[in-house]
A and B are shown apart, each in its own frame.
Chain A
Amino acid sequence: DAGITQSPRHKVTETGTPVTLRCHQTENHRYMYWYRQDPGHGLRLIHYSYGVKDTDKGEVSDGYSVSRSKTEDFLLTLESATSSQTSVYFCAISDLGPTMNTEAFFGQGTRLTVV
């Protein structure tokens, strides 16, 4: 398995509180992603990063912010958690190989419950 660690693995938080999820990689991959997984919706891209301090929005970015100050860490922050953000969050990493094509590797996921 690729060296991807998500923390925490489980979290319960109250509505209105800020929450930060961390993704740490040891592969030195350039690209990092945050997805949320919900029944019936598959995986939806929240934000992704194509380098240190370089990030872009995905399809469901409202209410989320990200930061990448080091290659190995990609933080996802819920600025003011809402019940609709209860979900399983996956981090993924990828890089450009010799053929300029690549696949993504996934972390174990973080189960977040907002009560």
Chain B
Amino acid sequence: AQSVSQHNHHVILSEAASLELGCNYSYGGTVNLFWYVQYPGQHLQLLLKYFSGDPLVKGIKGFEAEFIKSKFSFNLRKPSVQWSDTAEYFCAVNTGFQKLVFGTGTRLLVSP
């Protein structure tokens, strides 16, 4: 069965710092990869997605992620975070059977 690992459970950054959140998945076949964000008290919203093609994917709000197939990774990056990026971030994998599996999430706190 596929699984998703997010190794950073809590991250604290100052505004303007760079962000990288790790995501690794275990599945040997073709995957669709996602990053979702959950702002306090809200539901999950899609940040970006990878289906095929260019492994560097750009999403909303200046976020990007790179799919590295050899490392089974899909790390999320942002060059300069803002206070409004404080949220919980979830990596997710869909192996094509439409069974979407999530990681445990990373809580990001950006201090002004």
Partner-B contacts on A (CB < 8 A):
31, 33, 35, 40-45, 48, 50, 56, 58-59, 90, 92, 94, 96, 99, 101-109
Contacts and interface: CB of A to CB of B under 8 A. Distances in A.
Nearest to B1: A59
Interface range on chain B (Cβ under 8 Å from partner): 20 to 34
B46 interface: yes
Nearest to B49: A103
Contacts of B102: 35, 42-45
Interface in B34-72: 34, 36, 42-46, 49, 51-52
A90 B43 contact: yes
Interface of B: 1, 6, 9, 32, 34, 36, 42-46, 49, 51-52, 90, 92, 94, 98-105
List 10 tightest A-B contacts by C-beta distance, closest first.
A42-B104, A43-B102, A101-B51, A42-B105, A106-B43, A106-B44, A31-B98, A42-B102, A108-B43, A103-B46
Nearest to B6: A42
B98 A50 contact: yes
A57 to B, nearest CB: 10
A45 B104 contact: no
